[in-house]
Structures are given as structure tokens and as C-alpha cells.
Amino acid sequence: MTSLTLRTDHPNLRALQTVRFHILISLMLSSQTKDPVTSQAVTNLHLRLPLGLTATSLAGADPEVISECINKVGFWRRKTEYIQAAAKAILQGGLDEGEVVPDGWEESGLEGVEVEQGDVPRTLGGLCKLKGVGPKMAFLVLQCAWNM
């Protein structure tokens, strides 16, 4: 997987939040699923949800619509629940509170950048609070979404 280079002076940090969210959801769907199936499921979500694949659109979506979009991935019923719960938790915010920011944050070029409500957590503990995300997946999110 290619790592993402993020800049604090980027003119559209909301777009970066969406990219990080796509990475998280893609990784959550990829477990026990072939890459082309995961890719199609993410595309389906992007096309079917009213605002594309964002935390807001996924959190507010009918679970049946989500299920229809991802029904080819392994364990799709459980993943429907997990990805929607993750979107809601991310919108609620506070997942990184009390967690240690990982080594490498300074080198990532993001020192001083705070995770806003609605953004993917930037800590191992914050990510592992999401149902369906364990340490291995959390490390991948940190590497790919946060460039750590």
C-alpha cells in the first residue's frame, strides 16, 4: 500500500480527512476479502451514498444501503455494523483523548496538527476503540493515512 504524504499547509484539509476516512473504511472492508472485491465495495459506497463516502454520509445511511454496497466482502453483515459505528464514533470525536501520540508524528510533517472532530484517530489506542479495528489494522491506518 502506498503511503500518503500530508502537508499542514494543504488548502483543503477536509479533502485529507476524506482520504483518511477512505483508507480506514477500505482497510476495515479488506479483512478476509480479495482486493478487487474491496475496491468495488468502496466504489459502490462512494456512488450510492448521497455525499459520497464520508463519515457523515456513512453514519446517516440506511444499513440496508450499506449492506447492498458491500455484500460481496467477507463478513459483510458484521462489517456493515462496524463501518457505520466507526463513522458515528469519528463524528462524535474524542477517540484520541488520553492516548499517546505515536513516535514519528514529528517526522510526518504534521506536528501541531490536531485531529478534528470527524477525522480518523491518529493514535493506536484511538483507532482500536473502533469496533473491527485491531492493532495490526490500526498500524496500517497510522502508516497509510497519517504517514507515520
State the catalytic residues: 136
- Contact at 8 Å (CB) between 85 and 63? no
